[in-house]
Structure 1
């Protein structure tokens, strides 16, 4: 039995709105809707989401396929970058490179990668310990902490080269029985399923 970690797809970038409150763009909604039409989306038994707007919106679209209620869990959000506020895309990419390259240090007040990794691993493990192998489960969240979780589960060092491709809306799968990796980053709307 597999678990999925799904990252939200494209968002509406609103510099005057706190990043955790950004919602999906039209393209992001379209991609999530396409993924919800896949057979795998109908087989999910639980959908867990970060409390950030873009993740909740993605999870709600996916939940429509299986008639599930989204479980919003505190502490599953993206790495805390509030110390710098909004960074234009080019500067953000440079900051993200630094974040992954220096996992035990803080980029200008950001949550350290090792701390964000410990947080997301602890939340996912707590949920899975309760869930057991009761059926496919999906976690909907963010690229940074998703990559940190993937590095932990796949036995990889923290590094940006393990990050998802493109603008989000990807997933990876891992086995519930032993938490081993089963599928690397794949676009959510093209994944073939369980």
Structure 2
């Protein structure tokens, strides 16, 4: 059975003048992304699929340099759509993100709903895996918001920010392809990339 890793992009270069999907990784983010190639599962990966956002693509590109694999960007795997507000200062962003998770059927300040984003990421991941051999492990590089929503689906638990990654991103968890349908994953916890 195919095992999968969902890895979120680490720290980004914040630029209020640039659309959020076009932000790239910061120097610290790049250093932390490089740490992924040392993880026990890294050499087993046969496919790298990313969100089409720049920071997720860059995370995938840093990983594949060591293994000679292509990165396949998939548009539907993007972070929850926050284009209605664009950039928000950190404190304000955290408040809106809290509301996003707390009220998953409501569009908070024009954001995509959490349930809508969850359905999108689950169907997108499922579609990607449908064309991959059962024996070929897959790395998905993406985002904390939709990664948390995917995690909630895999464990069959209500959407809650209590399942979110820690600040700074660059976190990952492992799941089985069968978890997408069975929703019986247990003990999924975010593991954090380190530069140490």
Tell me how far apart the structure 2 counterparts of residues 162 and 175 of structure 1 sit (CA, whole Å).
18
Tell me how far apart the structure 2 counterparts of residues 35 and 129 of structure 1 sit (CA, whole Å).
25
Could you tell me which runs of 5 or more consecutive residues in structure 1 were left unpaired when the two chains were aligned: none
Q: Does 1:188 align with 2:193?
A: yes
Report deviation, 1:42: 2.0
- CA-based RMSD of the aligned residues comes to 1.5
Deviates more, 1:39-48 or 1:148-157: 39-48
| 1:42–1:140 distance in 2 versus 1, CA, 3 Å | same
Tell me how far apart the structure 1 counterparts of residues 133 and 158 of structure 2 sit (CA, whole Å).
27
CA contact (8 A) 1:32 1:62 kept: yes
Tell me how far apart the structure 2 counterparts of residues 38 and 65 of structure 1 sit (CA, whole Å).
12
Report deviation, 1:32: 0.7
Q: TM-score, normalised by structure 2?
A: 0.92
CA contact (8 A) 1:154 1:181 kept: yes
Deviates more, 1:141-150 or 1:169-178: 169-178
Q: Deviations over 1:32-58 (max 9, x none)?
A: 112123342222000000010000000
Q: For residue 109 of structure 2, give the secondary structure of its aligned residue in structure 1.
A: coil
Report deviation, 1:177: 3.7
Q: For residue 158 of structure 1, give the secondary structure of its aligned residue in structure 2.
A: coil
Q: Does 1:20 align with 2:21?
A: yes
Q: For residue 71 of structure 1, give the secondary structure of its aligned residue in structure 2.
A: strand
The 5-angstrom pairing of residues 33-182 of structure 1 reads 33-179=34-180, 180-181=184-185
Tell me how far apart the structure 1 counterparts of residues 133 and 122 of structure 2 sit (CA, whole Å).
16
Report deviation, 1:99: 0.2
Aligned length: 190
Q: For residue 166 of structure 2, give the secondary structure of its aligned residue in structure 1.
A: coil
Q: For residue 173 of structure 2, give the secondary structure of its aligned residue in structure 1.
A: strand
Tell me how far apart the structure 1 counterparts of residues 179 and 144 of structure 2 sit (CA, whole Å).
23
